[in-house]
Amino acid sequence: MNIEVLLTEAEIAEEFAESIAARDLPEKFFYWTPQSVKAWEALAARSEECLKGTWESLAARAADLTKPFGKRVPVISFGAGDGLKDRTLLRSLAGAGREVKYFPVDASQQLLETACAGAEDDDIEALGIKADISSPMHVVLAADVSEAPRLFLMVGNTLGGFDPMDQIRHVADCVKKGDILIVDTNLHPGVPVTPTEEQRRFVFAPLAAAGVLTDDGELDFTERPDDRLDGMFMLTRRFIASRDLRLLVAGHEISVARGERILLNFRYLFTAEAFRWLLTGHAGLRIVGEIPSADGKIMTAVCIKA
Ligand SMILES: C[S@@+](CC[C@H](N)C(=O)[O-])C[C@H]1O[C@@H](n2cnc3c(N)ncnc32)[C@H](O)[C@@H]1O
């Protein structure tokens, strides 16, 4: 298995301790430990069924979409996770006789290994890239792993885990003439979102890795519109300590006083109109295809450079 490392485990561990000390945990730590991966898999399983049709439809169109690429199709997946969705496309392209090379990009070593191993099981050449996609430099380095034309993926609501206004620009900057980007979002349901037990377990998992117990505090989920764009909503999650805590994180002892808050990862949700504007008006892409999920809760867009 080949994995190129731009972000080391030592750097992640150090940043994890710094983030707990700063009371602000970025998205990548929610997929870092085996416990987090397990919690995420349970959460992701819920949306897999609704997205089955979307991915079958994309797989059926994949060979045609990438016809101008010629024989070779590099697939670069930002925040690839376990690569389960990506594999539907990879298999379809390989089945159509194309030379597919898969580049899953992720900060999670465990998920990256799973994505690479899955592709290799299907006899598809894979090179994993362990990188931090919140860094514009890492996004460029990962994209440059192959020359255009390339098929970029950023799916599973990966975009919603970052500031989407910044992140989509960093990704769109890498999309050159001839490239294709497939990106999706969870649509805002129009009423406040109630967290499920799986979501609560998922957001708590990094705290548990730092030694926090469920009765050490409360989880608070809040949703608010983001004033920068009509139809863009931010779902924030916080932990509020209900007693004084002493945590041991990567060798650092960190005290959290009763009543203190730790910001957990957030999620952005959009209306369909706001998501279209983000991709086109804001990021300078052109949408050439849109696929709604079976339950209408997720929108997947196929984009090219405008
Ligand atoms: C919501 S999951 C989606 C996974 C996959 N694309 C899917 O559709 O199932 C987000 C993925 O992005 C990765 N991720 C989160 N923050 C990251 C960061 N800063 N750099 C690289 N990967 C990151 C996570 O490890 C996780 O695999």
Select from 52, 106, 293 the residue to mutate for testing ligand 1; criterion: most ligand atoms less than 8 Å from CB: 106
Same domain? For 54 and 165 the reply is yes
Hey, what are 193's tokens? 């979102």
What are the pLDDT digits (tens) for 141-194?
999 999 999 999 999 999 999 999 999 999 999 999 999 999 999 999 988 878
54 domain residue, yes or no: yes
Same domain? For 126 and 230 the reply is no
291 lines ligand 1 (CB under 6 A): no
Select from 12, 24, 27 the residue to mutate for testing ligand 1; criterion: most ligand atoms less than 8 Å from CB: 27
pLDDT of residue 147: 95
Number of domains in the chain: 2
* pLDDT higher than 90, residue 50: no
Q: Are 79 and 106 in contact (CB under 8 A)?
A: yes
32 domain residue, yes or no: yes
Same domain? For 289 and 170 the reply is yes
Same domain? For 96 and 242 the reply is no
Same domain? For 274 and 154 the reply is yes
* pLDDT higher than 90, residue 46: no
pLDDT interval class at 250 (50, 70, 90): confident
169 domain residue, yes or no: yes
- In the block, tokens 């009371």 appear at 23
Name 147's Cβ contacts closer than 8 Å, sequence gap at least 6: none
Q: What is the CATH number of the domain that holds 41?
A: 3.40.50.150
- In the block, tokens 């290994």 appear at 113
Q: What radius of gyration, in Å, describes the C-alpha atoms of the chain?
A: 19
158 Cα: distance to centroid of ligand 1 (angstroms): 6
Strands 125-126 and 128-130: unpaired
Share of the chain above pLDDT 90, in %: 93
Hey, what are 110's tokens? 């465990």
Same domain? For 243 and 284 the reply is no
What are the pLDDT digits (tens) for 268-305?
999 999 999 999 999 999 999 999 998 999 999 999 99
Same domain? For 126 and 142 the reply is yes
Same domain? For 49 and 162 the reply is yes
Same domain? For 18 and 163 the reply is yes
Name 161's Cβ contacts closer than 8 Å, sequence gap at least 6: 27, 79, 265, 266, 267, 268
Give residue 176's domain range: 3-189+270-305
What are the pLDDT digits (tens) for 124-147?
999 999 999 999 999 999 999 999
Same domain? For 112 and 181 the reply is yes
- Ligand 1, residue 111: give the atom nearest the CA: 27
Which of these, 152, 82, 89, lies nearest to 124 by C-alpha position? 89
Ligand 1, atom 6: nearest CA belongs to which residue? 80
- Ligand 1, residue 31: give the atom nearest the CA: 25
Q: Tell me the three state secondary structure of residue 89.
A: helix
Same domain? For 101 and 142 the reply is yes
Q: Taking residues 82-93, what's their average pLDDT?
A: 96
Ligand 1, atom 4: nearest CA belongs to which residue? 81
Burial class (CB in 10 A: 0-12, 13-18, 19+), 163: middle
pLDDT of residue 204: 97
Ligand 1, atom 10: nearest CA belongs to which residue? 158
pLDDT interval class at 45 (50, 70, 90): confident
195 domain residue, yes or no: no
Same domain? For 264 and 274 the reply is no
Q: Tell me the three state secondary structure of residue 182.
A: strand
